Structure 1
Amino acid sequence: MTITNRDPSIARVARFRLTTPGPSPLGNASCAAATGPLPGICATNTAGALLHVEHVHENRLPARTTATTVITTTVRPDAQPGTYTITPFGGFSDTGLDKSETFAPQTFTFTVQPRQADLAVSLSASAPLLGGGIDYTATATNHGPAPLNSATLTTRLPDQTTTVTGLPSTCTYQDSTKTVTCSTGSLTVTGSAQFAFRAQLGLLTVGQNLHATATRAASSPEDPGPANDTATTTCSALTSLLISC
């Protein structure tokens, strides 16, 4: 924003201010002077004024000179989605006479998008020698851009599964559907949660394929990328006890 002192006299202070109605979705702010005096104050006002910036140069802004400020601010982590209106103001004071005016355009808007956390799912498998079972590790990784509040991951095991051992405390097993269900809790951006367990299998047929699929069943906030919500792995029965993954 730029303000020009068009009066023939010296202005003591040039001021810039942005305002938003209601609770502001914007947080910390920084200010930089592009031309003219340096900003003396750059602060967030919780009473509805988003920013109040004062430009002071030896307490003077010469006649017919300009001062320009660049204001940078960030969206608060708890900002509610929606469209917000900002009104910029500019003015100066000269020997006790205050003058102010709005900039053109008088208002402008910006939109806060819903927070999203892209959760990627992977599934690995290995078979212990002559163990008659398969060790699975289901992994959920948060690719952001927001932190993950919580998520539910399900792993559909092979139909030949008879029982599941080594389940983490945040996982349960439903035998009727051959499904392990796990909860992640919160995850930072790039954070991940792993769930390892063993599926014990019944009598196998040579050459039989053993499929398992891990899926993001639910998560908060919204997941914008369903393409990486599912992962599948396949093992094969070499003999009734020997499995290859």
Structure 2
Amino acid sequence: MRPPTTSVRSRKQPGRILLAMAGSCGLAVASLTAVTPAAHSAPAPAAWAAAEAPLAYVANYSDDTVSVIDTATETVTSTFPVGDGPKGLAASPDGGRLYVSNGNAGTVSVVDTATGTVIATVPVTGSPNGIAVTPDGSRAYVVTSGNSRLTVIDTAANTVTTTIAVGSAPQQVAVSPDGARAYVTNYNDRSVSVVDTATNTVTGTIDVRGFPQGVAFTPDSGRAYVTRPYSNSVVAINTATNAVSANIPLTDRPYGVTASPDGTRVYVSRHWGATVATIATATNTVSATALAGNTPGEVAVTPDGGHVYATNGNSATVSVIDTATGTTNAIPVGVTPADVVIAERPTADLGVALTATPRPGLLNGRIDYTVTLTNHGPRTLASAAVTVGLPSPTGSTSPDCALTTGTATCTATGLAPGASTTRQITVPVGILSLGTPYTVTATRTTSAPTDPNPANDRASRTCTATTGLIISCS
């Protein structure tokens, strides 16, 4: 079975389980009339600073790759290989890891986003499909459509810890922002399974009918929205009661769904309409429609709410929709883009501090310099180098920095977020010109991953030695 597309541009199709049904399956819930103006009513976001803008990752099903899009420039900056038939994507909260479900390979690729390399491959049986990561990043939940299970991966060990029986032909999974539950859409059962993430057990089943596909929670975890492509509608679920609270008509096969960061809007791709609709959550009515590419599928929204990204399966593009104006930009990616996730840029902000301590002595006066390196996160600092300009080309010593003529190079590796480390350099006063002020500056020269904040990359101290016994530093 294949997705309801009218053309095939690639050698293979994402393994969605969508059955062509005549008519629609309704719910006995009052629905609301929708209007579709051309532009969205979202506020215009502030412009991203290049070093702060998140990245969008796109799973290209037929290319077996993931494209990386810089959301500041809306360009593809790199592409890296993963497993056979990538269908689902999820990112760790800090953006450091990407989890890719490879439907044809029966695996999940774990990617270090700083390098774009697969660092682990987790076997997952049953045709993995949708995937989600818990808010604390400790677990990944993977839908396996072939055996009607939800597989739980321990992200610290990158191993499967358990599998949970859900409904027939599950498609997508979403973990609530409060981390308390996961919702799984069961296509053949026309239901949603409610999973308690504390016990990894199914605690309820919600009858939504209409062959549910996509699912997304509002940021307060109070509601979940589920698309029903063959009923041409979206249902809202009250998560306190696990009951359907609204049925929102939406033509052209609503498919992927995501909620805005402020919870006021839900964005839904219309698979056969080449559009993305905006639902106002206050009224559960369609408030806007924007153009997308051919057969838009999964959707994601930037953290500032300013742009929605939609994968266009038969266009080999991703549509970027400005939520303030409703205008659309198309970004070429790989063949058959199947999923998209937007994540924090993998960065580690290294702060450099420098102290200078006078050590007076009649014959051995000196100045002890301490370089302090602090990782302000959010990622672990893989490596960094700080260069210190010394006041004299010779005579200085250091137990932990490399010395060359007039320069000390201090390095650090594997520095955790919030952690600090120090390096020591000693300059004898006897080699200085007495009475002359000398300024020593420590400067970050390299680091990985990217440092987003140059403001704290340098520190200086000025010292003057009148004699070996009189040394002052500021």
**Does the alignment reach a TM-score above 0.5?**
yes
> How far apart, in 1, do the equivalents of 2:371 and 2:381 lie?
17
Q: 2:269 aligns with which of 87, 105, 115?
A: 105
Give yes or no for the alignment of 1:28 onto 2:133.
yes
Cα distance 1:154–1:55, how it changes in 2: closer, same or farther (>3 A)?
A: same
Give yes or no for the alignment of 1:228 onto 2:326.
no
Q: What's 1:83 paired with?
A: none
Q: 1:173, CA displacement in angstroms?
A: 0.2
Q: Secondary structure of 1:165's partner?
A: coil
Indicate if the aligned counterparts of 2:372 and 2:421 stay in contact, CA closer than 8 A: yes
Percent of residue pairs bearing the same amino acid type: 30
Q: Which runs of 5+ in 1 are unaligned?
A: 9-19, 31-41, 73-87, 93-99
Indicate if the aligned counterparts of 2:90 and 2:133 stay in contact, CA closer than 8 A: no
1:53-68, aligned counterparts within 5 Å? Answer: 53=185, 54-55=192-193, 61=207
- Identify which of structures 1 and 2 has the higher relative contact order when contacts are C-alpha pairs closer than 8 Å and 6+ apart: 1
Q: 1:49, CA displacement in angstroms?
A: 5.5
Q: What's 2:143 paired with?
A: 45
Q: 1:132, CA displacement in angstroms?
A: 2.7
Q: 1:50, CA displacement in angstroms?
A: 5.1
Q: What's 1:199 paired with?
A: 427
Would you tell me which structure has more strand in proportion to its own residues? 1
Q: Secondary structure of 1:202's partner?
A: helix
Q: What's 1:190 paired with?
A: 418
Deviations 1:186-219 (A, max 9, x none): 1111111100121124354442102111010100
The amino acid of 1:119's aligned partner reads L
1:1-245, aligned counterparts within 5 Å? Answer: 6-7=26-27, 22=86, 24-26=89-91, 27-29=132-134, 43-45=141-143, 51=173, 52-53=184-185, 54-55=192-193, 61=207, 70=217, 89-90=227-228, 102=255, 104-106=268-270, 107-110=298-301, 111-130=342-361, 131-159=364-392, 162-168=394-400, 171-174=401-404, 176=405, 178-239=406-467, 242-245=470-473
> How far apart, in 1, do the equivalents of 2:205 and 2:344 lie?
41
Indicate if the aligned counterparts of 1:116 and 1:221 stay in contact, CA closer than 8 A: yes
Q: Which runs of 5+ in 2 are unaligned?
A: 1-24, 29-58, 62-85, 92-131, 146-169, 174-183, 186-191, 195-202, 210-214, 220-225, 231-252, 258-267, 271-297, 302-341
Indicate if the aligned counterparts of 2:397 and 2:403 stay in contact, CA closer than 8 A: no
Indicate if the aligned counterparts of 1:162 and 1:201 stay in contact, CA closer than 8 A: no
Cα distance 1:237–1:59, how it changes in 2: closer, same or farther (>3 A)?
A: closer
The amino acid of 1:190's aligned partner reads G
Q: What's 1:78 paired with?
A: none
Q: Determine which structure has more spread, i.e. the larger CA radius of gyration.
A: 1
Indicate if the aligned counterparts of 2:193 and 2:204 stay in contact, CA closer than 8 A: no
Q: TM-score, length-normalised on structure 2?
A: 0.35
Q: Secondary structure of 1:115's partner?
A: coil
Indicate if the aligned counterparts of 2:395 and 2:431 stay in contact, CA closer than 8 A: no
Indicate if the aligned counterparts of 1:138 and 1:195 stay in contact, CA closer than 8 A: yes
Q: Secondary structure of 2:413's partner?
A: coil
Cα distance 1:55–1:152, how it changes in 2: closer, same or farther (>3 A)?
A: same
Q: TM-score, length-normalised on structure 1?
A: 0.63
